[in-house]
Amino acid sequence: MISKNMADRLVSGSLIRKMFEEGNRLKSLYGEDSVFDFSIGNPDLEPPEEVSRALCSLALSPTPGMHGYMSNSGYLSTRTAVADSLSTPGIIVPPEAICMTVGAAGAMNAVLKSVLDPGDEVILLSPFFMEYTNYIENHCGIPVIVPTEPDTFLPDFQGISAAIGPKTKAIVINSPNNPSGVLYSEETLRKLNDLILSVDHLIHVISDEPYRELVYDGKHAPRTMDWIRNLIICYSWSKSLSLPGERIGYAAVNPNHEDFDLLSRAIVLSNRILGSVNAPAMFQKVVEFAIHAKSDISRYETRRNQLYEIVKQAGFSVNRPDGAFYLFVRSPEDDMAFCRKCAEYRLLVVPGSAFRCPGYFRLAFCVSEKTIFQSEKAFREVGKYYGLCTESSDEIITKSSPD
């Protein structure tokens, strides 16, 4: 007597969840250190010092009402700090543009509830974070999946154009991307904006940006608000400040959005009635204090370089990601079968099918350098099994063409 929809979901389960359970089984069998778990995007860096300082200060000097209700959109001081951090000389973001939420997932649900009527369509660019379809279906929307360009994983503008119809209400972008690690350039954002504005009705661009600060090689993610008019940013400090368990993020509407006033109010209302009510009070104050704090991104860059080399040396075909903390690697056979094979070598990886992109697998490199270092042999053995590299550990010959 649970709902039919949920009953179906419980039966099908989540691919990542299955990997997680298989991982636990292997870990209990062989010990934590003998299993190389690249399946989960849980940041392994601790939050920067500003977070601890803010927490200590709030805990040691409590103020009356600090755990009480505030406006459903969040504290004005927090929203102002966020708005200022998003403002540029060209675009002044007012605090009314910001709704504090329980992470980016809370923001996306509030945004989708605000814009979707039953049967409305939302374009997703595969590969994409698997929860997007759930979020859309929560609000009776229909996901329309458009594959990205082969190999580059950049938007296929012709494909998007062909997928747009009268029911298209929104498109979701996510750069740096989970799982591909691809970073969209200013030119890509400009083209997308042009395409969206050429349509005869309003289409919202929902930009899921939890990885915005996780960009390597001295590059930076372009500010989406500078390039896309009908933009709604969904942000979370989960990755940038390593706070995923605390559920703190925001939705931000571009002040130039054609429907700014109604939309920003609808998001606050949705945030309330979906049950979040408001973002957690204390962590609103923490992120306000730590608004300019940064995790040590170089640690992730080191891990990326390390794992990228290992995977390439084992003979796999993979792009070097510009951002996020994932490698998205060509699978030498059916990706589901490949992941099962990897588990035999105690390597836990997620099949591309989980991201609606079969033929690939994802590695999360937000794990310790020690784990990455120790996984080398396992990757080489898998590579050898598939004939991607030769036996000798000193003289690796790659058979596929990397990059």
Q: How many CB atoms lie within 10 A of CB 229?
A: 14
User: Contacting its own copies (CB under 8 A), which of 15, 19, 35, 51?
Assistant: 51
Phi, psi of 313 (to 5 degrees): -65, -25
User: Contacting its own copies (CB under 8 A), which of 66, 92, 197, 337?
Assistant: 66
d(CA 33, CA 27): 8
d(CA 106, CA 235): 10
33 is a contact residue toward its own copies (CB under 8 A): no
Binding residues among 159-188 for its own copies as defined by CB under 8 A: 169
Please identify, among the stretches 42-50, 143-151, 185-193, 322-330, the one whose residues bind its own copies according to the rule CB under 8 A: 42-50
User: Contacting its own copies (CB under 8 A), which of 19, 26, 39, 43?
Assistant: 43
Helix axes 281-289, 49-60, angle to 10 degrees: 130
Binding residues among 70-99 for its own copies as defined by CB under 8 A: 70
138 is a contact residue toward its own copies (CB under 8 A): yes
| Type and span of the H or E element at 231 | strand 231-236
CB of 204 to its own copies, least distance (A): 7
CB of 34 to its own copies, least distance (A): 20
Q: By C-alpha distance, which of 119, 168, 177, 114 is closest to 145?
A: 168
Binding residues among 103-122 for its own copies as defined by CB under 8 A: 103, 105-110, 113-117, 120
Q: Strand pairing of 347-348 and 350-351?
A: unpaired
Angle at 143 between CA 124 and CA 99, to 5 degrees: 75
| Type and span of the H or E element at 144 | strand 142-147
Please identify, among the stretches 50-58, 79-87, 147-155, 374-382, the one whose residues bind its own copies according to the rule CB under 8 A: 50-58
Residues 193-232, mask of contacts with its own copies (x by CB under 8 A): --------xx-x----------------------------
| Type and span of the H or E element at 167 | none
Binding residues among 278-337 for its own copies as defined by CB under 8 A: 278-283
Binding residues among 234-253 for its own copies as defined by CB under 8 A: 242-247
